[in-house]
Every structure is written in C-alpha cells, then in structure tokens.
C-alpha cells in the first residue's frame, strides 16, 4: 500500500474544481463528473487518471484511488501534473534502479515536446508509469502489467519526439561529487545536508547518520554558533512551506542537542521554498530541496 502523501498543490487544484463535487462526495466522484479543460495533454491525462482511480476503487485500494483521482482533478484544471516521484514509494533497491532511468526517460521525452507533439501517447506513458510504480510497491515479486504498457508507450512517444539519453532527475551521490583539491576545510566553509521525505519533518536513519557526524565535528571545534536552516521544495503554499521548513530545522536542532551540541550555540531559521538547491517550477516535488543545512561559525 502506498504511503499516502498529498501535496498541498493538489489540494489547491481540488479547491479550484469544487464544481466537480456538486453531484459527488469524494474525489473519485469528482473525477467522474469533472469536465477537463486545458491542453489536449492534460485532458487525455485526466481521462487516464479517471480510469485508474476507478479501477483502484473497484479493487478496494481506496488510498491509491483517492490519490490518482486527485491527480486527475488537478490535471482537469490544466495543472502541470508530474509522474510519481520515486522517493514517495516503498520500493526495493533493485526496483528503484529500474524505475529511476525509466522516469528520467519519460520526463526527458515530455520536456522535448512530447506533451504537444503526441498528447494522447504522452498521457498514456505517464499514467502507465504511475501504474507501474504503484504495482511494483504492492507486488514486489511479480512483473507489473503496466511496465510493458509503459515501455510500449515510451517507444511510440520517442518515435515522435526522437530518442535521447535522459539526464536523471535525481541527486548525485555525495561520494560522486567532485570536492575539488584535497586538504583541510575551514570550519566556516563546512556545510552538512540533512534530507527529508515529502511533507515530513521527522529524522530518518540517513539523516541521523549525518547529524552524528555534525555533532562529532562540533565537539572537535571551538565554535561561536551552529546554524540550522530549514528548506522545502515548491510543492505547497509559501506559508505552509515556511512552517514546514521550521519544523525540519527544529527537528534537526533537537537531534543535535540530544547528541551533545549545546543548545545555546544553535540558531534556527526557516527559508521555506525561497532558496532551492535544484531550481524547479512551483508545485514540483524535488527531493534535493527538502533539506536542512547545518553550518558552523
């Protein structure tokens, strides 16, 4: 079952679609009633998500049914709805390695005019990718039906827009980043990044490992202050993201205090979505932007 996470951007889109609920009481009722507007691509995508939401509902998978109905309602308003982020699903490493380049391939084709050149094929490709990732989470040991359908749609789409090696929309592992000339780094130049799941502020194990290093380094230095700055991606309103970024910063602060960093040294700030590590349009879930930055003075 998918971890049910609803972006604030989709909530806003649903609010704009209030007329869809005059004859229905749920997002699934709404997607069945809504009249899609916008580009041919968003209208076809609405149809795809309508079909998928009803299928999931008939199978008793109500959380995923609601999720895809909400995506369909957003698309029906002409909103730019992206393929599912891989980080939002509970997947095995081998499946992530397969889905990651597939998503990058899809996004590349969409960004090279796929939505405009072949709107129906592009909509099918996106919907089948979302179906594949959902099926892969729920049935780890089986081959998802939607995978082959996605591959066929992608073949058709790339025949229209031209195949091109995609640039994967994921962060480069820290070990692969060129850190420049070796040698000791000045304490004021050190910066530690703590990443968070979508719409979350709790400290996961990977984040805890980074904070362990921060606390150990702080204990070895003579510091004036430890700056903890929270950030979000652009999915959500400015006010919501400002508060979410502060919650993330406070979670990191509390974790550092638990690890022995003096509370009086720690300064906490929130930047919300104002300082993106990876620039994106509004409403985009970007894992690299969901972070806390820790630095020393």
Q: Mind listing the pLDDT tens digit for each residue in 156-185?
A: 999 988 766 554 444 444 333 343 444 444
User: What's the rounded Cα separation, in Å, for the pair 273 and 129?
Assistant: 28
User: What's the rounded Cα separation, in Å, for the pair 196 and 287?
Assistant: 8
Residues 147 and 18 in one domain: yes
| Four-CA torsion 49, 54, 56, 57, nearest 10 degrees | 140
On average, the pLDDT of the chain sits at: 81
User: What's the rounded Cα separation, in Å, for the pair 255 and 203?
Assistant: 8
Q: Containing domain of residue 67, as a range?
A: 8-161
Q: Is residue 115 part of a domain?
A: yes
Residues 100 and 212 in one domain: no
Position 182 scores a pLDDT of: 40
Residue 212 has pLDDT above 50, yes or no: yes
What 157-160 contacts at long range (C-beta under 8 Å, 24+ apart), as own/partner pairs, is 157/109, 157/114, 157/118, 157/121, 157/122, 157/125, 158/109, 160/114, 160/117, 160/118, 160/121
Q: Is residue 274 part of a domain?
A: yes
| pLDDT tens track for 73-94 | 989 988 878 999 988 888 888 8
Mean pLDDT of 268-280: 91
Task: Please provide the size of the chain in residues.
Answer: 297
Q: What is the CATH number of the domain that holds 198?
A: 3.30.1330.60
What are the beta bridge partners of residue 203? none
Tokens matching residue 29:
């009722």
Residues 36 and 140 in one domain: yes
Residues 61 and 152 in one domain: yes
Boundary-marking domain end, from 105, 129, 161: 161
Radius of gyration of the chain from Cα atoms? 21
Residues 133 and 182 in one domain: no
Closest among 63, 82, 61 to 13, alpha carbons compared:
82
Q: Cα–chain-centroid distance for residue 234?
A: 10
Specify the number of domains making up the chain. 2
Range in 31-40, 94-103, 157-166 the model is least confident about: 157-166
User: What's the rounded Cα separation, in Å, for the pair 231 and 248?
Assistant: 8
Q: Is residue 138 part of a domain?
A: yes
Q: What is the DSSP letter of 85?
A: P
Position 188 scores a pLDDT of: 55
Could you give the 3-state DSSP secondary structure of residue 3? coil
Q: Is residue 190 part of a domain?
A: yes
Residues 181 and 128 in one domain: no
Q: Which residue has the higher pLDDT, 285 or 142?
A: 285
Q: Is residue 2 part of a domain?
A: no
Tokens matching residue 5:
């996470």
Q: Strand pairing of 266-270 and 226-230?
A: parallel
Residue 272 has pLDDT above 50, yes or no: yes
Residues 247 and 212 in one domain: yes
Range in 13-22, 134-143, 184-193, 245-254 the model is least confident about: 13-22
Candidate ranges 13-17, 64-68, 222-226, 229-233; pick with highest mean pLDDT: 229-233
Residues 15 and 140 in one domain: yes
What are the beta bridge partners of residue 267? 227
| pLDDT tens track for 105-164 | 999 898 888 999 999 999 999 999 999 999 888 875 566 789 999 999 999 999 988 766
């Amino acid at each position: 079952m998918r971890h049910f996470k609803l972006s604030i951007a989709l909530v806003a889109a649903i609010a704009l679609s209030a007329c869809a609920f005059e004859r229905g009481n749920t997002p699934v009722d709404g997607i069945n009633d809504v009249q899609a507007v916008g580009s041919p691509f968003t209208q076809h995508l609405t149809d795809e998500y309508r079909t998928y939401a009803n299928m999931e509902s008939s199978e008793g998978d109500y959380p995923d049914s609601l999720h895809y109905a909400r995506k369909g309602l957003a698309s029906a308003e002409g909103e730019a709805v992206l393929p599912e982020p891989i980080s939002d699903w509970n997947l095995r490493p081998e499946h992530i390695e397969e889905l990651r380049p597939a998503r990058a391939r899809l996004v590349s084709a969409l960004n090279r005019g796929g939505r405009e050149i072949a709107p129906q094929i592009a909509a099918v490709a996106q919907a089948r990718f979302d179906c594949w990732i959902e099926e892969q989470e729920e049935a780890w040991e089986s081959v998802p039906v939607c995978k082959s359908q996605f591959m066929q749609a992608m073949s058709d789409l790339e025949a229209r827009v031209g195949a091109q090696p995609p640039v994967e929309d994921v962060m480069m592992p820290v070990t692969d980043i060129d850190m420049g000339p070796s040698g000791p780094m000045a304490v004021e130049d050190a910066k530690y990044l703590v990443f968070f799941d979508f719409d979350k502020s709790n400290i996961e194990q990977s984040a805890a490992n980074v904070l362990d290093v921060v606390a150990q380094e702080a204990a070895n230095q003579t510091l004036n202050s430890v700056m903890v700055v929270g950030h979000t991606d652009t999915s959500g309103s400015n006010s919501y993201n400002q508060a979410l970024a502060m919650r993330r910063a406070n979670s990191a602060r509390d974790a550092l205090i638990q690890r022995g960093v003096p509370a009086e040294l720690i300064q906490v700030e929130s930047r919300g979505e104002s300082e993106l590590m990876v620039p994106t349009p509004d409403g985009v879930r970007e894992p690299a932007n969901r972070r806390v930055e820790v630095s020393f003075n």
